[in-house]
Amino acid sequence: MAKPAPIYDLNVLLDVELPEETRESMLADIEAMIAEPGSIVSTHDWGRRKMAYEIDKKDEAEYHLIQFHGPRELLERLDRTLRITDGVLRYRIIKLAPGTPDPPDLRGGTSAPAAGVSASPSDDDDER
């Protein structure tokens, strides 16, 4: 039995100072590059977010996740292209392990608190 083709995650952080049309064009070019030899499984626009640390004196980026199948040559081409593309602050390509859950919807509304975490402050906080 043949192994299923691996799924890769491509996380891209784009410079928010670029015009919207430029960022959309960059994403379209990336998706076209992937779709040529591979196939896109899903795309996720996580929007504009504050970064954990500044990159080139910028503290915000537009986050995108593209999940795809593709050959090794595609990974090498993506790596080379994204490394030299102005406006791409950071990117990461990760091979997903089988059984990895779907990515979270970071654009959605409110999320439920994690198990064991109280949604409201405890009475102990008032006494301190």
What contacts 58, CB < 8 A, 6 or more positions away? Answer: 15, 16, 17, 51, 89
Residue 28 falls within a domain, yes or no? yes
- What is this structure's pTM? 0.75
Residue 123 falls within a domain, yes or no? no
Residue 120's alpha-carbon distances to 111, 113, 116, 128, in angstroms, are 14, 10, 12, 16
What are the pLDDT tens digits along the chain (128 aa)?
A: 667 788 999 999 999 999 999 999 999 999 999 999 999 999 999 889 888 888 888 889 999 999 999 999 999 999 999 999 999 999 999 999 887 778 877 765 433 333 333 333 334 444 43
Domain count, the chain: 1
Chain centre to alpha carbon of residue 31: 13
CATH code for position 28: 3.30.70.60
Residue 77 falls within a domain, yes or no? yes
For residue 61, the enclosing domain spans 8-98
